[in-house]
């Protein structure tokens, strides 16, 4: 469980950092010190929020799984949790990474 909590906290911290860095870049651009080409639709703020929510989901599901496994161990049963959570988490992380790569690729090509 501690590994999943660490992963969830890391996702949330990384999402917060991405969102704050995007805000910092917008502030510099508004001051006119640096010219940055950025899209107005999907920006780093949305990716930051997506990563924070993904971290929240990881921590919530990890806690739920821990409670279920602990109960099974105390009752003496051998209940193995399914791998659906891990597959869903990997798919969500891959989707966020793919969208970020497409948008960064479009920004760099301009």
pLDDT of residue 52: 86
Q: What confidence score (pLDDT) does residue 109 get?
A: 55
Is the model more confident about 66 or about 108? 66
Q: What percent of the chain has pLDDT over 90?
A: 0
Task: State the pTM of this model.
Answer: 0.63
Sign of CA dihedral 71, 91, 6, 58: negative
Q: For 31-77, how does the pLDDT look when each residue is reduced to its tens digit (9 = 90+)?
A: 776 666 655 555 677 778 888 888 888 888 888 888 888 888 888 87
Give mean pLDDT, residues 90-94: 80
Structure tokens at 80: 């193995």
């Amino acid at each position: 469980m501690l590994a999943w909590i660490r992963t969830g906290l890391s996702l949330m911290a990384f999402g917060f950092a991405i969102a704050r860095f995007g805000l910092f870049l917008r502030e510099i651009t508004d001051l006119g010190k640096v010219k940055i080409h950025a899209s107005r639709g999907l920006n780093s703020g949305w990716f930051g929020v997506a990563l924070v929510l993904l971290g929240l989901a990881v921590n919530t599901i990890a806690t739920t799984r821990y409670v279920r496994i602990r109960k099974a161990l105390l009752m003496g049963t051998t209940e193995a949790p399914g791998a659906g959570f891990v597959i869903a988490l990997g798919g969500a992380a891959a989707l966020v990474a793919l969208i970020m790569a497409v948008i960064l690729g479009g920004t760099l090509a301009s």
